[in-house]
Structure 1
Amino acid sequence: MDIEGTGEEPPKSVLARGLSLLDAFGSGDGELNLTELSARTGLPKPTAHRLLGELVRWGGVERTEYGYRLSMRLFVLGQRAPRPRGLREAALPYMEDLYEATHENIHLAVMDGTDTLFLEKVSGRRSMPIVSRVGGRLPAYCTATGKLFLSLGPPERLQSVLAAGLVRYTPHTIVMPGLLKRELARTSDRGYAVNREESEAGVSAVAAPVLDRQRRPIAALSITGNAYRLDLDRLAPAVRTAALALSRELARESDLKMGIPR
């Protein structure tokens, strides 16, 4: 039995099988039933049912009327991860400043595999509702934050994205490798990235990189909102200034931890 027709065999060890059940929940899944979890993991229903019982007893999964959902215990564990937590705490003041200046959706993202992963989001009543959420992810090639990681990262990263295939999410999604490479070259030259309705219709974004001392991107900040209202080039200096300030703060904190005088 493979995993939903992918040709991949389900994991062998008990631990790996249990983790595969947790990983089966996508960013938009509130709850899944036993049949769905079995299909997504490739595990036989009796095995999945037994492991889910163990996960319920541990507290990582909760039973619902129609199936199962991830529990708050996983959220608590996630908050203990040192790097994302420290990065989020450092970034929040800059994100809040950007929100006060724009009243748009403000994101903090990192690269995870071939996706951009949203670590934090600041929005309000005046912000346009969009699909992104904390802990959610989108393909790197059709997001402003993701384009930064692809344009400034190692060539192998882009090769992995191209090898996985470029799926069209909207009429504006760039799905031709040559066009994407030219877009990434422009991104690198100007120091910020834009997404013009490429991942969600009617939604655009501008993003700037958070860099370490070696000028490598470790995160990205973005402003996201209504494509017909946002002037991306006008907003670019604001998000670049915030990202640069955050880069400097993270560098100072790193120096203090290493005992390097400022």
Structure 2
Amino acid sequence: MQNVLNALRVLEEVAIRQPIGVGELSRVLGMPKSTVQRALRTLHEAGWIRPAGGELTRWAVTTKALDVGRHASGDLGLRDAAVPVMEELRRRTEETIHLTVLEGDRMVLIERLETTKPVRTNMSLGHALPMHASANGKAVLASGAPGAVDALLAGDLPRFTDTTITDPDGLRTELDLVRARGYAVNRGEWRSDVGSVASAVLGADGEPVASLSVNVPMSRLTDETEATFAAAVTEAARTLSARLGHLP
């Protein structure tokens, strides 16, 4: 049983920190390197992870996790409703569009429409995003029950870049701003070269069920483009929320 639990813990960390190697996994999980290595071999043989960029020393998750998650949470219906909205959002912004859903304490990418621009962000389906360091996560946190924020702040807020918000009071202030303006912004808080603007998608009960985001290299996230992306993504989120039965 312990081997199974170890493998699942390793899989979760690979998902949020990918690409990642044995040494870093051992450090963040507090496990011996030999234990981590065994778990990685098991996950690789089972098809849950793959070598990142062909390097056997660093790992990333495969889309197998996405397939299982869709069957578990019924996200296929959400995806079908979202794709036309995402296509329109991509047309308006000419940038990469993501649809993410809440899975446990992180957001998971379930659909992506890419920009035609040669310089773009790159993230595989099934990838997990931290709640406090992603626009998608902050948008959902700000739109949900206060208890979700309290639960997140009961633990650590890992630092990923120099701009990651790791102070609980700082995150609460940020979420107040998200609520006030209706969208969240990630300015290189998870990956220093990637920015995004996101808005929560609400279900019929008014609770957040997903998040839509416009994702760009940081070089294309300026004050002007942020305002353009924010207007487009909030409108798209309202449209998708209405399709899911939410009445404003």
Above 0.5 in TM-score? yes
**1:125 to partner: Cα distance:** 3.9
**1:203 to partner: Cα distance:** 2.0
Quickly say closer, same or farther: Cα 1:227–1:152, change in 2 above 3 A.
same
Could you tell me which of 81, 97, 101 is aligned with 2:88? 97
Using structure 2 for the length normalisation, give the TM-score. Answer: 0.74
**1:78 to partner: Cα distance:** 4.7
Tell whether the 8 Å contact from 1:169 to 1:200 is kept in structure 2 after alignment. Answer: yes
Could you tell me which of 205, 213, 238 is aligned with 2:232? 238
Cα separation, 1, equivalents of 2:104 and 2:171: 18
1:218 aligns with 2:209: yes
1:259 matched residue in structure 2: none
Superposition RMSD in Å: 3.7
Residue 220 of structure 2: SS of its match in structure 1?
coil
1:133 matched residue in structure 2: 124
Residue 232 of structure 1: SS of its match in structure 2?
helix
Q: 1:228-249: CA deviations, max 9, x gaps? A: 3231122211111111111111
Cα separation, 2, equivalents of 1:235 and 1:149: 17
Could you tell me which of 15, 24, 45 is aligned with 2:10? 24
User: How does 1:112-151 map onto structure 2 within 5 Å?
Assistant: 112-126=103-117, 128-151=119-142
**Counterpart residue identity of residue 160, structure 2:** Y
Quickly say closer, same or farther: Cα 1:128–1:143, change in 2 above 3 A.
farther
Cα separation, 2, equivalents of 1:227 and 1:143: 14
Cα separation, 2, equivalents of 1:70 and 1:174: 25
Q: Name which structure has the greater RCO, CA cutoff 8 Å, separation 6+.
A: 2
Could you tell me which of 165, 173, 176 is aligned with 1:174? 165
Q: 1:132-168: CA deviations, max 9, x gaps? A: 3211112111111111122122222212222221222
1:183 aligns with 2:169: no
Q: Using the aligned pairs only, state the percent identity.
A: 31
**1:100 to partner: Cα distance:** 2.2
**Counterpart residue identity of residue 133, structure 1:** S
Tell whether the 8 Å contact from 2:95 to 2:117 is kept in structure 1 after alignment. Answer: yes
1:248 matched residue in structure 2: 242
**1:218 to partner: Cα distance:** 0.9
Cα separation, 2, equivalents of 1:138 and 1:197: 13
1:195 aligns with 2:189: no
Tell whether the 8 Å contact from 1:60 to 1:72 is kept in structure 2 after alignment. Answer: no
Tell whether the 8 Å contact from 1:22 to 1:70 is kept in structure 2 after alignment. Answer: no
Cα separation, 1, equivalents of 2:125 and 2:118: 16
Quickly say closer, same or farther: Cα 1:111–1:247, change in 2 above 3 A.
same
Quickly say closer, same or farther: Cα 1:237–1:63, change in 2 above 3 A.
closer
Could you tell me which of 138, 144, 149 is aligned with 1:153? 144
1:111 aligns with 2:82: no
Cα separation, 2, equivalents of 1:52 and 1:248: 43
Tell whether the 8 Å contact from 1:194 to 1:204 is kept in structure 2 after alignment. Answer: yes
Structure with larger Rg: 1
Residue 106 of structure 1: SS of its match in structure 2?
strand
Cα separation, 2, equivalents of 1:113 and 1:73: 17
Tell whether the 8 Å contact from 2:62 to 2:126 is kept in structure 1 after alignment. Answer: no
Quickly say closer, same or farther: Cα 1:172–1:31, change in 2 above 3 A.
closer
Number of matched pairs: 228
Using structure 1 for the length normalisation, give the TM-score. Answer: 0.70
